[in-house]
A and B are shown apart, each in its own frame.
Chain A
Amino acid sequence: MELFFVNILDGLVTGLLLFMLCSGLTLIFSMMGVLNFAHASFYMLGAYFAYKISTYTGFWPGLVIAPVLVGIAGALVERYGLRRVHQYGHVPELIFTFGLALLIEEVVQFFFGKNQMAYDEPHILDFTAFTIAGNAFPAYKVFMIFMAMAVFLVLLYILTRTRVGMIIQAALSYPNTVQNLGHNVPLVFMGVFGVGTALAGLAGVIAGPVLGTFPGMAAVLGSIVFVTIVIGGLGSLWGALVASLLIGWLQTFAASYNIVIGDVLMSIGFSKPVNIDDGAFRDLWTLTVSQIGPILPFLLMVLVLAIRPQGLFGKRET
């Protein structure tokens, strides 16, 4: 039972972190209709910028400056890259962001090399917040939970309660009408792209010390982020939240329970073959749940798409 609570909290951390990436991605998608393949690369940029800043000034200034820098980089990419490619259609846009993801990884390697950076959590948060049955829960993870919650609430407030949010929501559905009403829609697009990438950057800043700051960090999270927003329903903020938490818990629970699939199969009535070493299905009997943990999100996605193609909370099949 104690392990259950620890996993709930750990999964919450992973899920909320995932949500910080997915929220920006899903906003960008519902606005421009293009999935930003390079979104996880901006997350990586956030971690690297914050690391570089932290070597001069410590952790806290990086928490503010790095996301701003990433946001500016994102806005520039939208203004000078994506807007140019937009005229060719959606598929070249997707290919452009894919190329950008490759390029950002190479650029990061160019400047920082292939090794993991010594980017650590701030000293002030380096203590145990509380323990559950002997399992220490670090204060930094509590900080991560609160950060992600705060981001979600601020985002929700801006989108639903402020004038800017109204214009953004209107521009999502009827860009031409909003343009005719005298609003600068391209600027709104650029702003949302910038804010979305800045959110990804922020996720990178706070995840870098925990998950490691290395050139492969974008690829590790990249496809999971896409899977998440497809499961949640493309363009749905609530869907992104639910799917992020779902995947966070799925992965955490799968990783911590060492159940052998063979035992499960036997308990539901299958009998174990005698010569297990050369059967075609020998892997099925020896695998553990923690081993198949990494493929569970993808399985879930295929399942969701087969049953409900628009995703859990999606309104439309795009």
Chain B
Amino acid sequence: MSVVKKVSAESNTTAPWISASQITPWILAIVFLLILPLIFTSGSALTIMNQMAITIIFALAYNMLLGQGGMLSFGHAVYMGIGGFFCVHLMNMIEYDNLWLPLPFLPLFGGLFGLISAMFIGSFSTSRAGTVFAMISLGVGELIAASSIIVVAFFGGEEGIGGDRTMGPSTFGLDFASQIEVYYLTATWLVISALAMFLFSRTPIGRIANAVRDNEERAEFLGYSQRNVRFISFCASGFFAGIAGGLFAINYEILTEENLNLATSGSILLITFLGGVGFFVGPIIGAIVFTLLQTVLSLYTEIWQLYLGTLFVLTVMFFPFGLTGLIAIHLQPYKLGKISILFRPYLHMVVPAVVCVLSLSSLLEIAFHAKHAAIGEEQMSLFGIGFNSHSFLPWMIVIVLSIGSGWMIRRIAPGLNESWDEANYVEPRV
């Protein structure tokens, strides 16, 4: 009874249309995006930031399906790719056929083409959720990726289609020849699309998409066609994926079969899931962390994909709510004012955990080097220490370290669990 009263009371009071706590994160994000290129000025940093921004839009679009609509797609790269391919063709038409189209508006057309293809494919793929949807998305994705190699006129075959972004009419005196101009264009589109996607998730249709995800039968009984709801989410997601594709086209000026295939679709699933599917910010965090990990790890090691794969499988097994979920579960102790209980056990855990991860990865590195380095090349270096990967001592050191730290973790874990329960304990009301 009291719950009902509370709800009706809330809806009666005229809440302000927008509150400061809602708008602050967006303003902070915009300021952050504006000053970011002033902090990291190098060309490679700009490249990484552009890549990150595009990945964020794509991951957010993907999460509209997976997180908000409960649809697992194995072929979402198709909509980004098709949007991108159309944008490259538009860029070429600007250059050769005197089409008047300022470059900043190009991603919008990418989005429209993504939307059209999503409407076309979604008309039959969204009739079912779950496994059947996943399989159709996989089949359609593979179909389009495979046809892209043989349809040379549109997809350019194996070498793809290239363009030149600087040929358009100049907008605000910009010709987008330099990376920094492209960065600000990408960042603008990032803010626009992220805001649009956030607002979409707050509209009635966005809420009903959640309802269909959680219990499609019940939503149907309430009078909502689950198929239509899924179709609308799917089209919206295709639209934003197309925008990401348009930005990709502007940024890299080339699209190939790689933008359509299963590997790209799979990696966006990985990114979104790592970040956390249940949260709006999840894909953003996932995209940032993944891009950084990918860039940094691939600089230092050849087997970075093994690490990412392991991280992904462990995340699915132990933290199905991803990185954001990991942060979010600390909100409860924080609200209870008991977060300080966790400091000491975390501090105890951090050293063995870091040692364990580093020694296990060292073990993998040494084993990989011993197995695959050129014959006769036995010297390798890890963390600045040079040694012989075929000799006994380094093997013994890393094995002892990993077993030792593993044993430490096992010893500390029960204490950590206890503190965790204590920190989450809500005092019963008297």
Contact = CB atoms under 8 A, between A and B. Distances in A.
| Chains A and B form a bound pair | yes
Interface of A: 29, 33-35, 81, 84-85, 88, 90-92, 94-96, 98-100, 102-103, 105-107, 109-111, 113, 219, 223, 226-227, 230, 234, 279-283, 287, 291-292, 294-295, 298-299, 301-302, 305-306, 309, 317-318
A309 B70 contact: no
Contacts of B273: 95
Interface string B293-313: 000000000010110011011
B140 interface: yes
Given A88-B320, A96-B317, A99-B316, A110 B364 contact: yes
B405 to A, nearest CB: 22
Nearest to A305: B136
Nearest to A306: B124
Given A91-B70, A234-B131, A103 B313 contact: yes
A279 B152 CA distance: 11
A98 B66 CA distance: 15
Contacts of A29: 131
Given A283-B152, A298-B143, 18 more contacts: A88-B320, A91-B70, A91-B130, A92-B320, A96-B317, A98-B74, A102-B312, A110-B368, A111-B371, A223-B138, A227-B142, A230-B135, A230-B136, A280-B154, A298-B139, A298-B140, A305-B132, A306-B124
B128 A317 contact: yes
A219 B266 CA distance: 12
Interface of B: 66, 70, 72, 74, 124, 127-128, 130-132, 134-136, 138-140, 142-143, 146-147, 150-154, 262, 266, 269-270, 273, 303, 305-306, 309-310, 312-313, 316-317, 320, 364, 367-368, 371-372
A317 B269 CA distance: 25
A92 B316 contact: yes
Contacts of A294: 146
A96 B135 contact: no
B262 A219 contact: yes
Contacts of A299: 143
12 contacts: A90-B130, A91-B66, A96-B317, A99-B313, A100-B313, A113-B372, A227-B139, A234-B132, A295-B146, A301-B136, A305-B132, A309-B132
A287 to B, nearest CB: 6
A154 B151 CA distance: 44
B127 A309 contact: yes
A99 B151 CA distance: 31
Contacts of A318: 130-132
Contact of B143 (A35, A100, A295, A309): A295
A95 B146 contact: no
| Top 10 closest pairs, chain A to chain B, by CB | A298-B143, A103-B309, A106-B306, A99-B313, A99-B312, A295-B146, A96-B316, A301-B139, A102-B309, A88-B320
Interface centre among B138, B152, B305 (most CB of A within 10 A): B138
B260 to A, nearest CB: 13
A230 B139 contact: yes
A159 to B, nearest CB: 22
A110 B306 contact: yes
Contacts of A298: 139-140, 142-143, 146
Contacts of A103: 306, 309-310, 312-313
B309 A281 contact: no
B321 to A, nearest CB: 9
B146 A226 contact: no
A309 B128 contact: yes
B313 A291 contact: no
A84 B371 CA distance: 33
A219 to B, nearest CB: 7
Nearest to B315: A99
B275 to A, nearest CB: 13
Interface centre among B72, B127, B135 (most CB of A within 10 A): B135
Contact of B266 (A98, A292, A305): A98
Contacts of B131: 29, 33-35, 90, 94, 234, 318
Contact of B153 (A230, A280, A306): A280
B81 to A, nearest CB: 16
A96 B153 CA distance: 38
Nearest to A282: B153
